[in-house]
Amino acid sequence: MNEVSKLNEKYYITTAIPYVNAPPHVGHALEFLQTDCLARFHRSLGKDVFFLTGTDENAQKNVLAAEKKGMGVQELVDENTNFFRKTIDKLGISYDDFIRTTDKKKHWPGAKKIWEECVKSGDIYKKSYEGYYCVGCEAFVTDKDLVDGICPEHKKPPEKITEENYFFKLSKYQDELEKLIKNDEVKIIPETRKNEVLSFIRSGLEDFSVSRPKERMKGWGIPVPEDPSQMIYVWFDALINYISGLGYGSNDKLFKKYWPADLHVIGKGIIRFHAVYWPAMLLSAGLELPKSIFVHGYVTINDQKLSKSLGNVIDPNEIIEKYGLGSVRYFMLREIPPFSDGNFSEKALVERVNNELVANIGNFVYRTLSFIDRYFDGTVPKALEYTTEDKYLIKEIEKYPKIVKESLENIELKSGLKKILELSSKGNKYFQDNKPWELIKDNEGRCGTVLYICANLCRTLSILLYPYLPNSCKKLWKQLNLGGKTKGNVWDTASEFKIVSGHEIKKPETLFKKIEKNKEISNEEVEKNMISFKDFKKMEIRVGTVKEAERVDGSKKLIKMQVDFGDFQRQVVAGLYPHYEPKELKEEQWIFMTNLEYAKLMGLESEAMILAAVEGKEEKVVCLKPEKEVEDGTRIE
C-alpha cells in the first residue's frame, strides 16, 4: 500500500456498550483501555480512525435497579451514564463519539429502521413463548446454557416466563453464518472463540425473541414500530448502536464513510450476540458485516469474574487516584492477557510498575537525558565511528518497531508491551556496559556516540509505547523537544535516527514514579530522623546530585531538594538550615538513604533521607559526601 492510500485508509473500532444499572468497575476499564490502545496504534499508522463507545440504557436490568433504589429509570441511567463518561475520560480514552441508546434523535431512528428492514425481509414474526429467562444475561436460556439449573455467568437460576413476543428467524441464516465464520469473512479473534461460535452454530440455531411486553418493561425502551404494546428487545436494540452511532437512520454521512466496522471489541460473555445475532440481523437488513470481532477475557479476583451482580467490583477511579493513570494503564495492559482471564491485584500492580516501568523504561530514559543535560549542556552530542556494540543496538532499534507493530496488529497487546520492555532493557545494558560516567573523563567523543544512540532509542520508545501510555510519551516527546503533534504515519519512522547532533533537549523530568507507602511524621522528628538510624546493612544507601534546592516557606529549618540518582529523581526535605544554604547543596553529590518509607514534612513529601553527622560542641550538622565523584545512583555498601 502506498503512503497516500495508507493515510486515507479508514479504521472503525468500537467497544461494547455496558449496562448502566450500576457504576463501572475495572472489568469495564480493561475493555476501554484495550480498545483505546488499538485505536491509538492505528492512528499512529496514519489511518483515519473513528472510535465509538457508549452505554446500553434500555435494559430491564436498569428498570429493576431503579425500582430497587426508589429512583426513576431515566434518573438512574443519567446518573450512571455520567459515572461511565467520567471514568472513560479519567482513563484517557480517545473516543470520537459516545452513543446512548436512550438518544431519541440519534439512536432510535436507526433501531426502528433496522427493525423495518428485517420485517421487509420476512424475518420478524409474532408468537407465544414459554421459557426460562435470565435477567442478568437479558436473554432466554435453555438447559444447555445452565449448570445445575444455575446461570454460570450470574450464579442465579433463571425465571420461567410465558408471553407473546416478536421473534427473529435466526435459524434461516444458520448455513450462511457458519460459512462466514469458518472462512473468516467475519473474523473471530482468537481462534478458540471462533471454534466456540462455530460449535454453537452447528448445534442448531433457534429463532430468538426480539421484543418484550410493554408491561414487563414498565414502558421503558424503544416501542416496536406499528405495535406500541411491545418494546424492542435490548440486545436487538443495543447491537444497532454500532451503526446508529455513525448516523444510520438519521444522517448517513459517517455511516457511508466508516461502516463496516474493522473491529468490535467485546467480552467473552456476549460473544453469541455479536458473532451470531448481529451478523444475522445485518444480513436480513442487507448491510455489510463487521470485519473482525476481538473477544477478550475477564478481569478476575481470586479467579472469580468481577461482576456488579456478584458484588466484588473495584472502582477504577479509586485505583487511578491511588496509583496514577499511567500505572493503571500499564498494569492492565501488561498483566491481563488479551485472550483469557487475568487476576487484578494491587500488589502485582505495584511490583509491575516499580520493577518494569520505573526500573526499566523510566531508568533508561532518565539516565540518558539527565546525562546529556549535565555533561553536554542539554545538546545531543555528535556520533563518531560506530563499534560492533553500537551496530548491534542500532540493528535492534531497527528491528523492534516491526515486531511490536506485528503484535499490535494481531491484538497481542501484552506481548507488544513485553517486546518494548526487551528493547529498553537492551538500552539499559548498553548504557551500563559503556559507562558514560567514566568515558566523559577521558573519551568525550566515545561518550557522545553512546548518548547519541541512546537519545534516538528514547525517541523510538516514545513511539512504541504511545498506544499504551499516551500521556507519559507526550511528556517524553516534549522532553526530547520534538515539537507538537505528529501527523501521518509516525510508526514507520520509529527506527529512524531523527534526533541529530546539536539538537537541544528540554530539562529532563522523571517519567514514572516509584510507588511506595507514605508515612506522616511531625516537624519535631525531622532532625531526629535525619541523624539517627540503626542497622546500616538494611539500608539502601546511594549517591545523588542535588539539582535544585530552596528554603521551605514557613519553616525555620527545612530545605527542599530535587535529587538526581541516575536512573530516577526524588524530592528530599531535610532540616539543614542554617547549617547549609540551599546554594551550598546545589550541584553537589551527597549520600542518601533511598529505601525508607516516604515522609511528609509540612505537607511536602520527602522520598529519601540525606545522611548527616553532628560535629563539635556547637552540634553543627555536616552532610556526608562521597570521597570522589561517582555515577549518580551508585550504591554504597
Q: Are 125 and 83 a contacting pair, CB within 8 Å?
A: no
Q: Hey, how many other C-beta atoms are within 10 angstroms of the C-beta on 442? A: 8
From the list 266, 318, 414, the residue with the least C-alpha distance to 25 is 318
- The answer to whether the CB of 512 falls within 8 A of the CB of 362 is yes
Task: Give how far the C-alpha of residue 573 lies from the chain's centroid of Cα atoms, to the nearest Å.
Answer: 33
Residue among 118, 151, 458, 623 flagged as catalytic: 151
Task: Provide the grid cell at 382.
Answer: 555528535
Q: Which of 112, 274, 305, 547 is catalytic?
A: 305
Q: Which of 328, 318, 624, 593 is nearest to 469 (CA)?
A: 328
The H-or-E segment that residue 330 falls in is helix 325-335
- Tell me the three cell numbers of residue 218: 414498565
Catalytic residue selected from 42, 308, 503, 557: 308
Radius of gyration of the chain (CA): 30
Position of cell 458473532?
Answer: 275
Task: Round to whole Å and give the CA distance between 387 and 244.
Answer: 59
And the C-alpha cell for 429? 545494558
State the catalytic residue, choosing from 28, 194, 274, 514: 28
Q: Are 112 and 98 in contact (CB under 8 A)?
A: no
Residue-level length of the chain: 637
CA distance 525 to 120: 81
- Diameter over CA atoms, the chain: 101
> Is 137 among the catalytic positions?
yes
25 is catalytic: yes
Read off the C-alpha cell for 597: 518509607
* Catalytic site residue from 137, 447, 454, 473: 137
Q: Cβ distance 217 to 91 under 8 Å?
A: no
On the CB side of 510, CA atoms within 13 Å amount to 17
Question: Which grid coordinates are listed for 421?
Answer: 520492555
User: 25, 47, 113, 274: which one is catalytic?
Assistant: 25
Distance CA 134, CA 127 (A): 20
C-alpha distances in angstroms, 318 versus 310, 347, 457, 475? Answer: 19, 15, 34, 24
CA 173 to CA 278: how far, in whole Å?
11
**Measured in Å, how far apart are the chain's first and last C-alpha atoms?**
58
Separation of alpha carbons 236 and 280, rounded Å? 11
From the list 37, 134, 458, 473, the catalytic residue is 134
Cell numbers representing residue 113 in the block: 429502521
If you search the block for the grid coordinates 471462533, which residue do you land on?
194
Q: Which residue has the cell 512504541?
A: 464
Please spell the DSSP secondary structure of 570-632, one letter per residue: EEEEEE-TTTS-HHHHTT-EEEEE-SSPEEEETTEEE-SEE-EEEETTTTEEEE---SS---T
β-pair type (612-615, 620-623): antiparallel
Could you identify the residue written with the cell 480498545?
Answer: 35
Give the DSSP per-residue string, 485-538: ---SB-GGGTTS--S-TTPBP-----SSPPP--EEE--GGGHHHHHH----GGG
Is position 134 annotated as part of the catalytic site? yes
8 A C-beta contact, residue 467 and residue 346: no
305 is catalytic: yes
Locate the DSSP E strands across 454-557: 518-520, 541-551
Among 139, 162, 115, which residue's Cα sits nearest to residue 60?
139
Catalytic residue set: 25, 28, 134, 137, 151, 154, 305, 308
